[in-house]
């Protein structure tokens, strides 16, 4: 059934639709805010792992963000929202550990998928000595697919004797 423009029923339906959209937005905003905080904590965990820093440094970073937020965002109209977003970051040592494990699992599954779909591969072996004079064997795989080359470190194994 069609209702003419500016009719009472059509206006009422439009009003109800806009109220429904406003109510639904109440649930969408917190979810996207939580998703953004999770993404940020993954990025910080990844950075801590790449820089070989302790997992406890996540909490230190959060404290540093909060300490400098007052002066950095002093003139911003949304300063309370920024500080609230920093406070919502999950950066405890156990959370950072879980994030790094999730990143490692994802990288491993990507590598497995790449190995399964590659056309050719090459293994490289390199012997080196670590800081405590322990001999190590690095196993590196090079994947060749679609005229691209991807190099990944597979494993580092301790050596009992020389190669």
Strands (E), the chain: 120-129, 135-145, 148-158
Q: For the packed helices 57-72 and 8-50, what is the interaxial angle rounded to 10 degrees?
A: 120
- CA 84/CA 65 separation, integer angstroms: 11
pLDDT digits (tens, 9 = 90+) for 96-155: 999 999 999 999 999 888 888 888 888 888 888 888 888 888 888 888 877 778 888 888
Tokens of 6: 């500016």
The alpha carbon dihedral of 91, 47, 128, 149 has a sign of: positive
Comparing C-alpha atoms, which of 109, 120, 117 is closest to residue 142?
120
- CA 4/CA 10 separation, integer angstroms: 7
Assess whether pLDDT exceeds 70 at residue 3.
no
pLDDT digits (tens, 9 = 90+) for 15-70: 888 887 777 766 656 567 788 899 999 999 999 999 999 999 999 999 999 999 98
- CA 120/CA 137 separation, integer angstroms: 23
pLDDT score of 55: 93
pLDDT score of 94: 95
Neighbours of 118 (CB within 10 A): 16
Low-confidence winner among 12-16, 72-76, 86-90 (lowest mean pLDDT): 12-16
- CA 127/CA 134 separation, integer angstroms: 10
pLDDT score of 14: 84
Sorted by where each begins, the domain ranges of the chain are: 1-117, 118-163
């Amino acid at each position: 059934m069609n209702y003419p423009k500016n009719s009472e029923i059509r206006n009422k339906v439009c009003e109800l639709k806009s109220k429904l959209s406003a109510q639904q937005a109440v649930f969408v905003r917190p979810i996207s805010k939580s998703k953004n905080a999770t993404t940020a904590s993954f990025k910080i965990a990844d950075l801590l792992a790449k820089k070989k820093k302790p997992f406890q440094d996540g909490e230190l970073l959060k404290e540093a963000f909060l300490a400098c937020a007052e002066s950095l965002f002093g003139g911003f109209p949304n300063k309370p929202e920024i500080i609230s977003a920093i406070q919502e970051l999950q950066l405890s040592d156990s959370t950072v550990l879980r994030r790094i494990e999730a990143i490692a699992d994802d990288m491993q599954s990507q590598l497995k998928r790449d190995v399964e779909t590659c056309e050719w591969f090459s293994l490289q072996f390199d012997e080196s000595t670590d800081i405590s004079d322990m001999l190590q064997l690095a196993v590196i795989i090079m994947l060749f697919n679609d005229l691209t080359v991807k190099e990944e470190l597979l494993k580092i194994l301790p050596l009992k004797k020389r190669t």
